[in-house]
Amino acid sequence: MEMDAGGPHPKKRRSASPGVGEDGGGADCISALPDAVLGDIISLLSTKEGARTRILASRWRDLWRSAPLNLDYRDLAIEGVTVRTDVVSRILSSHRGPGRRLYVNTYSLNVPADSVEACLRSAALNNLEDLDFTDHRIEQPHLTLIFRFSPTLRVANICKCDLSDITFQGLHFPLLRQLGLIEFKISELSLHSLIHGCPVLECFLIDRCVGFRSVRINSLTIRSISAGVSLYRFHPRPTHRLLLEQLVIENAPCLVRLLIPGQGISLQVVVVAAPKLETLGFITDACDPTDPYRLVFGSTVIKGLCVEKLVTVVRTVKMLALDMQNLSLDMVIDLMRCFPCLEKLYIQVIMLVQQMFDLLLF
């Protein structure tokens, strides 16, 4: 109790800050948000956590059903292996909101084919934005269903699928910015049709895919490319003859990063026009000496880690990564003549086991 000049008189204690009650508790700012914003927050949670928001308060009870759906099969698996298909069916039948993200992986999860097909057909996934889909089974009759989402997809990662008999001509992905194809089988014509149908594509990953020998990039928007060669190339008896041999960057005015990951890569990379390229790697000599990695910039040719022909230097590259079997300072210095404006240089050295033992003994 505080006193004033007129005698004892209790003054009401004011809160320390607006929105904080007398008991010190904070105001419920989250509940003041519009339903649409709360729905977006729920869609960022895992499938289980999003469903559990229904117990928070009466207002939240129906929010999850109308929020953009994030359906991740990993969240609905028993012991991380067998998916509760009955739970998936209940979610799809009761959900009224548009689709935000779908993750399905039949390689690591036990998911019946009919459950996958029913999921892809469900109206609950209309307007899907983010797709991560892996299906390793030989029979894949439902694969064409994933392309019903083409008008709304923004991110797509597709793995272990065989689309060699599917034509992509006429397919359009107007919003797709990130595309990943992993252990994928597709014809060269279909692959180029797919890339052509992505007018705002920014990030493109192609890794261990078969069915084509060459990839040609003509894109006004693409900023990052990562290309990995199929492991079949190094098998003593290749199971497929059509493997990636050449990557040609014909016109990519926004390309900033070009990555060729892995070792033992026998690949020819030709850069015709990429005026903003800043990050490049790996340049490697860890490959078949009879079929080495080749990098061509205009008339400049790098074979393995050796500069075979130096006509014009590449001044845009600021970051370079090398993959070397044996560290050679002379080779590095010679290579740097091609990239005179380097700011960062990363070197990964691969030493044979025998060489390591020799060093230890020495």
114: CB partners within 8 A, 6+ apart: none
pTM to 2 decimal places: 0.81
Q: What is the CA radius of gyration of the chain?
A: 28
pLDDT at 97: 74
pLDDT at 360: 54
Query: What one-character-per-residue DSSP string does 271-336 give?
Result: ESS-TT--EEEEEE--S-TTS--EEEETTEEEETTEEEE-SS---S--EEEEEESS--HHHHHHHH
205: CB partners within 8 A, 6+ apart: 157, 179, 180, 181, 182, 225, 226, 227
Q: Which amino acid is at 143?
A: L
Give pLDDT tens digits for 231-264.
Answer: 544 444 444 567 888 999 999 999 999 998 765 5
pLDDT at 197: 95
Q: Which residue has the tokens 């490049």?
A: 280
Check whether the bond before 362 is cis (ω within 30° of 0): no
pLDDT in tens, the chain (362 residues): 444 444 444 444 444 433 444 444 555 677 677 777 877 887 788 777 777 777 676 677 777 778 888 898 888 888 767 788 888 898 898 888 788 999 998 887 888 888 889 999 999 999 999 999 998 776 676 778 899 999 999 999 999 888 877 778 788 999 999 999 999 889 999 999 999 999 999 999 999 898 999 999 999 999 999 998 765 444 444 445 678 889 999 999 999 999 987 655 678 999 999 999 999 988 888 776 666 788 999 899 999 889 999 998 999 999 999 988 888 889 999 999 999 999 999 998 865 444 555 555 55
Q: How far apart are CA 240 and CA 137, in angstroms?
A: 18
Q: Which residue has the tokens 């990039």?
A: 217
Beta bridge partners of 103: 72, 132
307: CB partners within 8 A, 6+ apart: 300, 301, 334, 335, 337, 338
Q: How far apart are CA 268 and CA 242, in angstroms?
A: 15
pLDDT at 18: 39
Contact 74, 100 (CB under 8 A): no
Helices (H), 105-207: 113-121, 188-196
pLDDT at 28: 62
